[in-house]
């Protein structure tokens, strides 16, 4: 990138520190929803950058909610905790954020700050801050959390305990193995039970119960998806949930993978950001996060068993034609693409995602800004946890007592 092109770039805040209010104001003025993307899950820098940005948005610009690519149903307990509920942050983070995000110290630090900030706001007249999930329950492999959220908000009936038992599977890999081992009759029994539950919620539940029921509907839509054109059911669910949250909050920040937040469709299918752009227009901002050098976690399938994957670690060198290759000479920067010259983006073919590349036809359409780190690091212990979960010694679930209702092979970016 030429020296004259550096006028569109500002120094990026250190991970975990609040962002420069002047730079943030220039980006988010007039926006009610800000989508913040991360180039890979499991990168410590991205979790800390998201924390720092939300602190600035909450204290300086009236944002009231942080929304994560995590189970909607599980997130209800996280929000109760940051409002002053009982429990330890480690337990709340682990149980209340899916895909393993709660194992990160950065996530626990953020939740602790949200709770402390709410304590400071009590009695001040300022709106409390909220945490929301927007995604399928059970890391996309088990419906149990959403079933429980629905049952807690409607009058009890005989058979509710049995439905809880059948849909309470546990961990992501165990859930996928259990579902894979069920026959059609067992699967039909679970579908019927959840269909009946959703009907009860529609007539007797509150808005939160109905949103939890919507995540169950999306679960089965993902499971039976036949390749039809349009957005994936999960992508549509996340967009609908963000819209639902935006109707209840002043302004919101949403953290998800770059593949979800981008405005530009991915492989011809609308992403979360594509759908929200149609609904929000100028009230939406999209900020991607990338890194040039650092760890890359990749997966190789060992057998047809769900999640029987070998996780390997390599070191990234930004590939020519990638967005990261164009940005890396600038170091740690926040680049406002809206005012950037077009020439630096000529020839960009995509952005790194796992061990591959997500294509980009026009980076300035996909994102309003990019926060770039020259070098990034994994969440401590992340690779070891993945290897323990996906390794050949992962325990098989007892299909007679545990049942899952979700797609078995999620995209790799939601596992990293």
pLDDT tens string 107-152:
999 999 999 999 999 999 999 999 999 999 999 999 999 999 999 9
Instruction: Say which residue the tokens 């950065």 belong to.
Output: 106
> What pLDDT is recorded for position 171?
86
Distance CA 322, CA 329 (A): 13
Name the DSSP letter for residue 8.
G
The answer on pLDDT for 163 being more than 70 is: yes
Q: What is the mean pLDDT of residues 56-68?
A: 98
Q: Where are the beta strands (DSSP E) in 21-148?
A: 33-38, 65-71, 130-135
Percent of the chain residues past pLDDT 90, beyond the cut: 85
**Rounded distance between C-alpha atoms, residue 285 and residue 31, angstroms:** 6
Distances 355 to 40, 159, 214, 314, 378 between C-alpha atoms, Å: 10, 46, 33, 9, 15
| Helix or strand holding residue 70 (H, E) | strand 65-71
Three-state SS for 287?
strand
- In the chain, domain spans: 3-414
Q: Say which DSSP state 228 is in.
A: -
Q: The tokens of 276 are what?
A: 């929200």
Q: What's the whole-number mean pLDDT along residues 141-168? A: 96
What the block records as the tokens of 259 is 């593949």
SS3 235: helix
The first and second tokens of residue 303, run together, are 């057998």
Cα–Cα distance, 207 to 383 (Å, whole number): 38
In the predicted structure, residue 409 carries a pLDDT above the cut 70: no
Half-sphere exposure of 28 (CA within 13 A, CB side): 25
DSSP state at residue 83: T
pLDDT score recorded for residue 395: 56
pLDDT surpasses 70 at 406: no
66-70, 172-176, 250-254, 367-371 — which is least confidently predicted? Answer: 172-176
pTM assigned to the model: 0.94
Residue reference for tokens 């808005």: 207
Residue 381: φ, ψ to 5°: 80, 0
Residues 6+ apart with CB under 8 A from 32: 246, 250, 251, 252, 280, 283, 284
CA distances from 216 to 247, 315, 369, 403 (A): 21, 38, 34, 14
Q: Encode pLDDT of 35-59 as tens digits.
A: 999 999 999 999 999 999 999 999 9
The secondary element (H helix, E strand) that includes residue 351 is: strand 350-353
Residues counted in the chain? 416
Model pLDDT, residue 53:
98
Average pLDDT, whole number, for the chain?
91
């Amino acid at each position: 990138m030429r020296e004259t092109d550096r006028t569109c770039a500002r120094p990026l805040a250190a991970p975990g520190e609040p962002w420069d209010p002047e730079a943030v104001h220039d980006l988010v003025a007039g926006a009610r929803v800000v989508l913040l993307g991360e180039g890979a899950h499991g990168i410590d820098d991205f979790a800390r950058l998201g924390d720092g940005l939300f602190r600035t948005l909450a204290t300086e610009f009236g944002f009231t909610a942080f929304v994560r690519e995590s189970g909607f149903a599980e997130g209800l307990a996280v929000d109760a905790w940051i409002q002053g509920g009982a429990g330890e942050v480690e337990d709340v983070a682990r149980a209340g954020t899916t895909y393993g995000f709660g194992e990160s110290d950065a996530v626990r630090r953020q939740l602790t700050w949200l709770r402390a900030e709410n304590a400071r706001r009590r009695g001040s007249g300022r709106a409390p801050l909220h945490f929301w999930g927007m995604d399928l329950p059970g890391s996309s492999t088990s419906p149990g959390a959403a079933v429980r959220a629905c049952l807690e908000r409607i009058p009890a009936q005989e058979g509710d305990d049995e439905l809880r038992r059948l849909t309470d599977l546990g961990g992501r890999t165990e859930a996928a193995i259990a579902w894979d081992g069920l026959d059609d009759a067992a699967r039909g029994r679970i579908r019927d039970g959840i269909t009946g539950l959703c009907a009860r919620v529609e007539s007797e539940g509150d808005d939160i119960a109905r949103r939890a029921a919507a995540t169950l509907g999306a679960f089965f839509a993902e499971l039976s998806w036949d390749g039809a054109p349009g957005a994936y059911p999960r992508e549509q669910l996340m967009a609908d949930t963000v819209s639902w949250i935006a109707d209840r909050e002043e302004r919101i920040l949403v953290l998800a993978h770059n593949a979800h937040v981008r405005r530009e469709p991915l492989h011809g299918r609308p992403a979360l950001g594509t759908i929200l752009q149609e609904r929000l227009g100028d009230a939406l901002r999209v900020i991607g996060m990338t890194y040039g050098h650092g760890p890359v976690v990749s997966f190789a399938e060992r057998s047809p068993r769900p999640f029987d994957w070998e996780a390997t670690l390599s070191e990234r060198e930004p590939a020519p034609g990638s967005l990261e290759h164009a940005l890396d000479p600038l170091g740690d920067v926040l680049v406002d693409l809206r005012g950037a010259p077009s020439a630096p983006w000529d020839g960009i073919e995509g952005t790194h995602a796992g061990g591959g590349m997500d294509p980009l036809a026009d980076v300035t359409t996909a994102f309003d800004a990019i926060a770039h780190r020259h070098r990034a690091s994994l969440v401590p212990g992340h690779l070891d946890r993945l290897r323990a979960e996906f390794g050949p010694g992962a325990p098989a679930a007892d299909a007679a007592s545990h049942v899952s209702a979700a797609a078995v092979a999620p995209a790799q970016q939601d596992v990293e």
